[in-house]
A = this chain, B = another copy of it.
Amino acid sequence: MHKVNASIITIGDELLIGQTIDTNSAFIAQEFNKTGVWVHRRVAVGDVYDDIRKALDDESVLSDIIVITGGLGPTADDITKPLLCEYFGGKMIVNEKVKAHVIHLFEKIFRRPGPMLERNLKQAEVPDVCTVLHNARGTAPGMLFRKNGKLFFSLPGVPHEMKGLIVNEVIPVIQKEFALPAIIHRTVFTAGRGESMIAELLQDFEASLPSHIKLAYLPNYGMVKLRLTSIGDLADAVNKELEPFFIRLQELVKDFMVVNDDKKLEEVVGQILRKHAKTMGTAESCTGGYIAHLITSIAGSSDYYKGSVVSYDNTVKSGVLGVNQSTLSQYGAVSEQTVTEMANGLLKTIGTDFALATSGIMGPGGGTPEKPVGTVWIAVATAVKTETLQLNLRFDRERNIHMTAAAALDFLRKFILANT
């Protein structure tokens, strides 16, 4: 079976000067991958006529499907639509369905007062050589062009509009027009071992894999995900062939496996709590609410997560969590004693089965010779038991916060498993 290759072209100066991080490409790649389309190249170019044309020329030689995002807004710095019109040899016409949709959005959804702006109505103009793809979430329509047997999808760069178009419009077209292979990924999520150590352990296993099955190492914040990928004509057959290798991989890493799935740590913790009908809360100093944010980003987390006291200031540690003034003055805010009292104070304050507490020095300021930047204390507790963990990190502020959150969630995960 022919492997269906796709390129993603992202248009916009903001990506090239680093003002915006490209999250769209990751979403498109994930969705395509599930469908059996292999994104083999991603290219970002600026709002520059020649650069966009060159990218279209190049990628259409290398790929069957070209997805173009960005450059479709209502302002003058967006040059993509007229360029595409010219590139595919069309002329601009008003699409009445898009026009009615734009007017509907402005009147009913955005509830804008006053007359429509000319530039908003212009969004209803499209090249006559494209098929319009309905953008239910915004005013800029998606467009499908065809040239030399290749499909070109032009989508707005606004993430939630682009996402709707990919799922509801783009993928159904691709599934209709291509015979797609099955691409299967199976992921094992590990914590507590470095990439090199794991690679050493898996050396023979990796050598035993057939050439069409690949093993990838994805290290992130002290965790390593191990991903097996295979490709074939039929999903059932690919899965069946992959299964024994996946089972063997889990056996090899069982001592430090978090879960045999590509899940987030906060999802895994949530699943365990839900299974045992237990609740948790957090008392965060150095992580400043980041752990609460991770947990509450998961839909349905209100079933097991009650809340957090972000005790950034010591007065909150003592006043709300009941940490003793003498503990703070004798041992300091970043100490085993303080996080222990924070965790136990939280259990009393908000009444959960489990508590997680963090206190540390994230940098760049605040370090001392005894407690340098990167010193972190973590405590987990139930009403009858407390355990603590110390970290010595050596990164920048952002990474120290992320590392602490990951280590704390994994420490809590093990503690819950051992105490339910």
Contact = CB atoms under 8 A, between A and B. Distances in A.
Contact of A22 (B22, B262, B290, B296): B22
B196 A160 contact: no
Given A196-B75, A300-B365, A308-B289, A41 B45 contact: yes
Contacts of A289: 284, 289-293, 296, 308, 310
A21 B26 contact: yes
Interface string A280-323: 01101001111111011101111001111111110110011000
Contacts of A42: 15-16, 42-44
B16 A40 contact: yes
Interface stretch (A80-88, A270-278, A392-400, A406-414): A392-400
A270 B55 CA distance: 42
B363 A216 contact: no
Contacts of A25: 15, 18, 22, 44
A76 interface: yes
Interface in A211-245: 214-220, 225, 227, 229
Interface string A10-22: 0001111111111
Interface in A1-48: 13-23, 25-31, 33, 38-48
B315 A306 contact: yes
B292 A310 contact: yes
A350 B320 contact: yes
A315 B305 CA distance: 12
A217 B401 CA distance: 32
A40 B33 contact: no
A221 B400 CA distance: 26
A195 interface: yes
A319 B109 contact: no
Nearest to A158: B219
A335 B308 CA distance: 21
A218 B13 CA distance: 10
B315 A309 contact: no
B14 A20 contact: no
Interface residues of A, number: 110
B399 A160 contact: yes
A372 interface: no
A40 to B, nearest CB: 6
A288 B295 contact: yes
Given A41-B43, A41-B45, A311-B307, A18 B14 contact: no
Contacts of A312: 292, 296, 301-302, 305-308
A307 B299 contact: no
Nearest to A28: B18
Interface string A114-148: 00010110000000000000000000000000000
Given A13-B229, A22-B22, A117-B197, 13 more contacts: A13-B214, A17-B33, A18-B26, A41-B43, A74-B196, A75-B199, A119-B199, A160-B396, A305-B312, A307-B310, A308-B309, A309-B320, A315-B351
Interface of A: 13-23, 25-31, 33, 38-48, 51, 55, 58, 73-77, 109-110, 112, 117, 119-120, 158-160, 163, 185, 194-197, 199-200, 206, 214-220, 225, 227, 229, 262, 281-282, 284, 287-293, 295-297, 299-302, 305-313, 315-316, 319-320, 349-351, 363-365, 394-399, 401
